[in-house]
Structure 1
Amino acid sequence: MPVGIDEKAPVITRDDIVIDAPLERVWRIQTDVENWPAWQPDVSSSVKRTPGALRPGSSWVWSVAGLENITSTAEQVEPRRRIVWGGPAQGITAVHVWIFTQTEDGVHVHTEESWAGDPVTAETAYFQQALDTSLDHWLHNLKQQAEKKRS
């Protein structure tokens, strides 16, 4: 059964993009968490705690856009189709879903994320804008990285 975001969370963002690249490449870039800082300007560090490919229970510690030492854990992994991760960070509980679908035009990437917790409830508008911007940037950076010409 698919794991999903917290539909009752005060902040929820959903976004989509189509990437003109092979599905395998898009998946590899997105799931290589330790390489995120190389193509995601907002990610300053990311270190895997569990070796090998991402699988349910895999975890990593990363920092993004001023949130430091986030520990994320993969909740669900369906290779080249779906990944869900989540975890707490500075009072915020996040759940992030990624869905990858091969189409005639390329790879359709759908993402949705929920944020809950006291900081989010206290400043919902601020956190909504932050998450909207973050996911938009993430998708466009993923697209740019995946569509680079391979030499």
Structure 2
Amino acid sequence: MSRISRSRVLAVSLAVAGVLVSTAPVAQAAHHGEPSRCGGRGVDAGARIRYESDAVIKAPLSTVWKLQTDVEHWPTWQPPVLTAERLDAGRLAEGSRFRWTTPAPATPTTPATTLGITSTVQELRRHDCVLWSGPAVGEGLRIDEGVHLWTFRKVRGGVHVHTEETWTGAQVEADVPTATAALGAGLEAWLHDLGSTAEGRHTTRL
């Protein structure tokens, strides 16, 4: 799996969602051209906390898409996801809801806790994009709303995956650099796990 474009480097040193991030730089990608959209909708344009990243995953689009949208099985390939459950039946679609949990380590302003996240799918285009949003609440920590966008494009040798997310809420906005670092580390870990799992399954089937 290869990374595409990164800029505005931010060095961090904290554990996020069970992933240890050292003082090596974490890249916060800047927008180039028009913002990404799914069905005409994207992340919160007014949010102060935002992060985006890209990767090329060397696996079929169908494999990458199934991993990402089979929510109940996230814990089998994403160590930071402790539990995940659908709150409705059927294939993931616009209006679907799911609840999942992930650890959040202590920061200078918040305690270590486990976040319970209730997400609602706002847009979904099969094998193209998905956008969900919802609050994340833990003991001593609350994100009023996270909006998370994923897009998928077939390219030579695999799939170009783009992800971006925004957070809003008084508590996280009180320390924007720390919140942004936490968000970025979590998304980079997610991209890595998605890529390594998809590529591993593809290699096994060859």
Q: TM-score, normalised by structure 2?
A: 0.71
Of Structure 1 and Structure 2, the greater helix share is in 1
1:116 CA displacement: 0.6
Deviation per CA, 1:18-77: give whole Å up to 9, x if none: 000000000000001111111111100000011111101100110023343211010000
Q: How does 1:1-151 map to 2 (within 5 A)?
A: 1-66=39-104, 67-90=114-137, 91-92=142-143, 93-148=145-200, 149-151=203-205
Q: Which has the higher contact order (CA 8 A, sep 6+)?
A: 1
Task: State how far apart, in whole Å, the 1-side matches of 2:128 and 2:191 are.
Answer: 16
Larger Rg: 2
Task: State how far apart, in whole Å, the 1-side matches of 2:134 and 2:67 are.
Answer: 21
State the identity as a percent. 40
Structure 2 CA distance for partners of 1:21 and 1:3, relative to 1, 3 Å: same
**Number of residues paired by the alignment?**
151
Contact kept in structure 2, 1:82 and 1:100, CA below 8 Å: yes
Mark the runs of 5 or more structure 2 residues left unpaired by the alignment: 1-38, 105-113
1:121 CA displacement: 1.1
Contact kept in structure 2, 1:72 and 1:88, CA below 8 Å: yes
Mark the runs of 5 or more structure 1 residues left unpaired by the alignment: none
**RMSD after superposition:** 1.1
